[in-house]
Structure 1
Amino acid sequence: MAPSAMSGSSAHDDIDGTWSYLQDGITKIMLNLQDGVDLRTYMGIYTAVHNFCTSQKATGFTTPGNNTLGPGAAHRGGGYISVNTPHLLGEDLYKKLTDYLTDHLRGLLTESKAHTDEALLAFYIREWRRYTVAAKYIHHLFRYLNRHWVKREMDEGKKSIYDVYTLHLVRWRDVLFQEVSSKVMDAVLKLVEKQRNGETIEYNQIKQVVESFVSLGLDESDPTKTTLDVYRYHFERPFLEATTAFYKAESKQFVAENSVVEYMKKAEARLDEEEERVKIYLHPDIAVPLKKVCNQALIAEHSNILRDEFQVLLDNDREEDMARMYSLLSRIPDGLDPLRSKFEAHVRKAGLAAVAKVAADADKLEPKVYVDALLEIHTQYQGLVKRAFNDEAEFTRSLDNACREFVNRNEVCKSGSNKSPELLAKYTDILLRKSSTGVEETELENTLAQIMTVFKYIEDKDVFQKFYSRMLARRLVHSNSSSDDAETSMISKLKEACGFEYTNKLQRMFQDMQISKDLNTGFKEHMSSLGVKGLDSSYSILGTGFWPLTPPGTTFNPPQEIAADCERFSRFYRNKHEGRKLTWLWQLCKGEVKTNYIRNAKMPYTFQVSIYQMAVLLLFNDKEKNTYEEIASTTQLNSESLDPSLGILVKAKVVNVSPEGEKVGPGTAYTLNHDFKNKKFRVNLNVGMKSETKQEEVETNKTIEEDRKLLLQSAIVRIMKARKKMKHQQLVSECINQIRTRFVPKVADIKKCIEILLDKEYLERLDDDELGYLA
């Protein structure tokens, strides 16, 4: 049985007796807990603690009548009342337990001196586990002490008082841990180094040491809370120092003996190992600082040799190694900046080389060959960015910068700054025109998407627009588009890239073609109702403000059959739209004539001709021979239009020229070639001359310059109207910002436009280099 706590003068004897009983039970728990604690002993200890803490020592003062009251003292009517104060003896018991734990731990400290390295580690873990399990039992047995005396002391703000379990941890920390922690940590670090060197270790030991160090992190200001201070100082700090030293030494030696690529593989493996180490037996709190020291020792210390190797990897397309380098250098601050710069320079150089390879003669350069050369470089390095550089935004920006450079400033562009957008527009025209080689719809859509990739990099987007709109006009007028869906898809892409205004006129051109279809249907019905059988013809009404077309540069007297049909359509149109004026674009008209004069022909040939060629050929219905002067007089065509038309007929041997071998021109005569032969029975003679194409390019470029001046002037007026007053330099900068999506304006051109607007009195000069808006 547990001794009962006694009161009175035997209190001192009582604490010794009670503690003697308790100590036996505590020692049994401390040393032989594996045998268990029987219920009798458990209840005996618990009861002894309870009784001892509630024992009272009677002290008092006697009054007449010897009345006794409870706690508290009062003075009444000149007499005294005695006071009975319960004396909580918890402090004595707490001190006894503290002294016991101190002695126990000093004994363990002495034992520990007999062990080193892994043996010390095993000893520490074994004793820690035994000690903390015992602490939980003892904490429960002293629950009454915790609930009353300890709680009261803590509530009063005493910093050196803890609950019984925490007291165990504090004593372990202050008596044993402070003395052995560095040796235990040395043993841990030796184990880790063994593992880093490829040996197998019992890592659970390290895990338990970590848990021990974390458990000892007690917040002195609030014993109910824990911190990681002990763990960080005694475990994390030396662990990180040892890690830094290990990898500095190892990496220095490895780099000296191996290639950079091999080193990257080694560093990558080491970093993976450390991450795994955190997962298996280290505390999660160490993950970030551990990664930082590893990155410093393994990557930052050798970043220069890694970056120097990057160009070699680029030159040899070592994609896997570039991905590895990207992964490593992305771990350190600003590690990738030099790589991005080298990548940009490399792509720009590759692009310029690819263009130079195909640009032997810029004037004869096939648009497809040029665009494919640009796309090949972009596709190659876009794939590299995705696969090796994780599709990172900054590397994508470097790629875009490089592509913008070699697309706009290359060998081909030296012959004219507008060459890239012009060739891109021509390639688009080739794709969207009807051709004998049918292109699958899906393939065409993919190619158009690739064209938009190049378009994105073009600075002079207005140049593309001009050439594209001219070529679209020809496709629509000559019904030469591969499909309406493809045309619509391309315009949608341009609209998405540049906005509604950029494609507004292109869309209006489509609307005009639809309106023209309806007009032709109405015209045929009208002719049928009148009983008039006209030519099999169709007409397109093209709005002057939307189509990039100009009136013909020559007078023309159409053949009688054509003129009569045109007059009938004109009357029909004027009846529908009174007051509108029609201007005939003869240079765009075409038709077919059927032959019945050719000897030995299996079937009649059909010639596809321009309206000018048709006028020339129909003259031979009346005369077998026509001179150049007669043809010119009848058709009213000038030499610039007549000569190319006749020249094609002569070259195709549809007509013979005399004197034989003479060039087309005054003094020559022409007869039909009755022995004409061709593999095809439908022969296309409506072929544009190179001189015409060249002239059209010159006119287009001239139009671009004029449009740019107007665009700049309108931008300046728009800015000044909003701002009223503005410094000259600010106006130039703002104008560049507004216009650069269409083209990159030259400062000199902006200044010229400002001068024009000053002369026109849209703007005025103010003091201090300031301009003002005149309403």
Structure 2
Amino acid sequence: MAEEDSSSSSATTSREQEQLENRNLIVPSVAADHHTDDLTEASTTLSGFASVKLGTGSVKKLVIRNFKDKPLILENYTEEAWQKLKEAVQAIQNNTSVQYSLEELYQSVKNLCSYNLSANLYKQLKQLCEQHIRAEIHQLREYPFFPGPFLKKMDKCWQDHARQMSMIRNIFLFLDRTYVFQISMLSSIWDMGLELFKSYIIRDQNVQSRTVDGILLLIEKERNGEMIDRCLIQRLLSMLSDLQIYQVSFENKFLEETNRFYAAEGRKLVQKKEIPGCLYHIKNLLEEEVDRVRAYLSLNTQKLLIAIVEKQLLGEHLSAVLQKGKDVFKAFYKKDLARRLLLGKSASVDAEKSMLSKLKQECGTAFTNKLQGMFKDMELSKDTMIQLKQYMQNQNIPGNIELTVNILTTSFWPTYIPKEIHLPPEMERLQENFKNFYLSKHSGRKLQWQSTLGHCVLKAEFKKGKKELQVTLFQTLVLLMFNEGDHFSLEEIKMATGLEDRELRRTLQSLACGRARVLIKNPKGKDVEDGDRFFCNEEFKHKLFKIKINQIQEKETVFFSS
């Protein structure tokens, strides 16, 4: 039964079927009597009828009326509708309120298009926009050229234009989506607005040159360290991009100015002696240019921009920069290698020597010979320490301090500035014993103690337990004082150790203000000031048994000689 109902619901007479096909109308099938109310209004605009057999077996006629005649255009309607639209467009352009609703204006456009007046409507709208743009160009031409204010005026002109064209397009949306869409020769309303702005404003040589020159001037100010309005530049360059003249009007000039600016910058950098600072500055400049691209330039500009910067800062002066850079690298590598060897921090002697063979190819044998001399000094020092131990046993020299001395050949190692300090009597005796031993084997040589390179391991006992402190010689001198007293002032420590003021303050800062605070400073603070007093931190605790207390590093302003 269900199958019969289903098949009969779409049945019509042959005559009725022919009438429906001639009208290109497909009548939806009806499954039940109460669904007949769901037919759309379109069914009332056609003539003829169709019969539908219902599930009960009865037939119901569906009447479809004839087409209604197209309503006649009212007298003066075209003029009145355009006047209404014209007033709305002018109100938008003059930033005043529109008297009519968007729905009313949209319906007016739709009605005019239905009367085949689309072509004339598009023409009138374009003329209206063109008149407004022509008035704007006169204001910009007469505006005084102060880069900042002029660029803001230009930006406001563009932002207003974009906002106005967006609102106008909303009103004429029906025209844009029907008539304009179908005519390939016509630009959309938005594109038409861009073309008018481009033709009458940005292609004006006076306005374009002032805009581009103003942008370039602000970019140069930023490169020289001044603060500028990046958002303003970003909006103006987006305008040039939207108008498809970014490359022709701006990018070419920008790259020329960049080439000129960094050519001069490159000459300045090569004249500087602080090449590490110079290389660091070049790195910063490159990063700044990449940031500039991200902030307001087109991404397509980045490759060309960076190529120019690298050419002027490196390529044009590459040999000079590399030579100075190589000299600085030598000094720093030599200094770091010395630290690794003296502190026993080298991961692998084989790896160090493998690096030397590579450096020999790049820096020459004169440089690597000195580095090899450093390794030789360390090996000879080990042999010397074995002999020293035997010498002290033979001489029956007492002492509970284990001494290790590295004998450095001055010409091999970085230059170290000796500093006078007051050593405890036990240390002084050890130094004198070593001097006697060494000179007995190498007469005529001169020994000079480098206190800045000294380091010690101290065994300390706190309430929370015993610890081993790995410290510098300067830190050692300070800590040993607390075997003799509970607290000392800055002035007292300075007098006892002989450390110069700046070196002493850094040393006390590392012991009382760092992470491992084995001393307590009163009053508390990050810096050591005159009148501060220092106490042994009896409550000191640390999860490790062996603790390295790093010295506060002093900023280096000079480079070690090679």
Q: TM-score by structure 1 length? A: 0.36
The structure number with the bigger radius of gyration is 1
Of Structure 1 and Structure 2, the greater helix share is in: 1
Q: TM-score by structure 2 length? A: 0.48
